[in-house]
Structure 1
């Protein structure tokens, strides 16, 4: 596929989801058996990849939302300054930031042996450490990104209100990815915050809630690719095409997202060429 800013965003998002899915079978095995035979290092890595996926996914969604907003609001500047190499540098920074934010989770993850059973869990020596990590995840990995995404969505809505799009599929994809991320991660963050107040909540309820929340969070990595490939297309027609050609077609349609059927202004004319 042609190297563009848009393909850089979405391929990076796909890599994030794929990386998590590679480690997911180990987590599924541990959930079923409640025994971790894979060692301390894999214990740290498997858990950390979940949060690496969370941070990188939401940060990439922020980049995609801001990129859309800039394309529509400042088309002349966008055409002159949007370059694939700049996108790659930005993505590299996002992965670095996501990794740094994931480090605390990796540090506190460890294994403990109880008889013949080995458990992999987060060991916070002080409640303040647990609270700091949970609040950082919630604020940096959820609240702030979604405030930015919603703001960009409002700007896009206002800018595109009186403009006819040749294809609305790219914006449907973006909206679907954002909604799936929101609904998949809200239960997890909710029960993580409730877990910090054990005195007022049942441990059994929190334990069950955490399993449900973690399952839904993991499901986001499977839902995103499905939404991207199939949304806005006839399902039977899509199934007849190869996966590779379907992904390329999806990204190709995304590249044409800036083409508007209006010639009343120079901005619209430039967007037609993006």
Structure 2
């Protein structure tokens, strides 16, 4: 949205951002807070509460398991970083819930900027980490001997830090353009592009390209290579790690694509019905936020078959789901190294 750039926005932002709070628009769109009397608004609040509870608990569990219960590895480094990103985002969801219920931003100017930035740090860090994981898998399959020697926890940690720094850098526009203004007796946290009108389009398009198009192109390319290579060599029988990663990527795609579509539609808001655009932006923002609790759910339910899930405890299931990937890759690397060794003796 740029009006709904995050889950802390409401549909009314749209009216005020684009029209600079003109007297005409103020008259047309003046209304009293009625969120708790509207089914749609109450539903979105309920969804946000569920996302908050599941996301906070689920990601905390993933962080605890990968950080304290499992042997530290490159794989646990990737997944713990994803969980930390989602956990931080979910921890600030109560601000969104209060904002939607009160239709008033009561948390001040700094939190308006900070809360909005968190969503984009979460978005960019998540997609960048998925790209890193995909490239890591591709390199492990294409160059198994090199990967076995070079894939270290220290290097993985450096890559994670770089991904986070890049995500923070791309989230700077929220720190710059988010603003708080009083209107009709309420405080509104919105994107103020009035001084730089062209920046609205620049920010929206750059986020779509950097946060969606380019990453997914790289991910699809990497997985295409992995699938072809593994099918040709038939070096692994387990499909579990690939189901987990495919599910994570699919969840990100489903959660974030509608959001970006409506963000781009908003650039031409004069051609679309305002109520449809505003409602779509609210729903798509909640859908995007849902990605933060889906990751730990996928760790649990994609790691084992149905019967095993009910025979084992929750912690064991999550540990097994994440550990299986590392074991499968390790077996693949070991077999590849052995084959490469035998091949070199014949040369």
Q: Compute the TM-score of the two structures, normalised by the length of structure 1.
A: 0.92
The structural deviation recorded for 1:27 is 1.0
Unpaired runs of 5+ in structure 1?
A: none
Identify if the C-alpha distance between structure 1 residues 206 and 87 changes in structure 2 by more than 3 Å, giving closer, same or farther.
same
Q: Is the 8 A contact 2:144 2:333 kept in 1?
A: no
Q: Alignment partner for residue 181 of structure 1, among 235, 252, 255?
A: 252
Query: Which of the numbers 152, 155, 164 marks the counterpart of 1:83?
Result: 152
| CA separation of 1:195 and 1:269: change in aligned 2, threshold 3 A | farther
In the TM superposition, residue 246 of structure 1 has moved relative to its aligned partner by: 3.1
Q: Give the Cα separation in 2 of the matches to 1:151 and 1:224.
A: 22
* Contact persistence 1:166–1:260 (CA under 8 A): no
2:140–2:333 contact (8 Å) kept in structure 1: no
User: Cα offset for 1:268?
Assistant: 7.5
Q: 1:167 aligns with which of 238, 254, 257?
A: 238
Moved more, 37-46 or 185-194: 37-46
Distance in 2 separating the partners of 1:167 and 1:266? 19
Comparing 153-162 and 29-38, the one that deviates more: 29-38
How far does residue 223 in structure 1 lie from its aligned partner after superposition?
Answer: 1.0
Aligned pairs for 1:69-108 (under 5 A) are 69-108=138-177
Corresponding residue for residue 53 of structure 1: 122
- Measured after TM superposition, the shift of residue 96 of structure 1 is 0.5
Report the count of equivalent residues: 270
Show the 5 A alignment for 1:115-130.
Answer: 115-125=184-194, 126-130=196-200
| Larger Rg computed on CA atoms | 2
Aligned alpha-carbon RMSD (Å): 2.2
Q: Is the 8 A contact 1:105 1:133 kept in 2?
A: no
Shift of 1:112: 1.3
**Which of the residues 211, 227, 238 maps onto 1:157?**
227
Q: Match for residue 266 of structure 2?
A: 195
Alignment gaps of 5+ in structure 2:
1-69, 343-347
The Cα of 1:165 is off from its aligned counterpart by: 2.0
1:46 Cα deviation from its structure 2 partner: 1.4
Give the match for residue 64 of structure 2: none
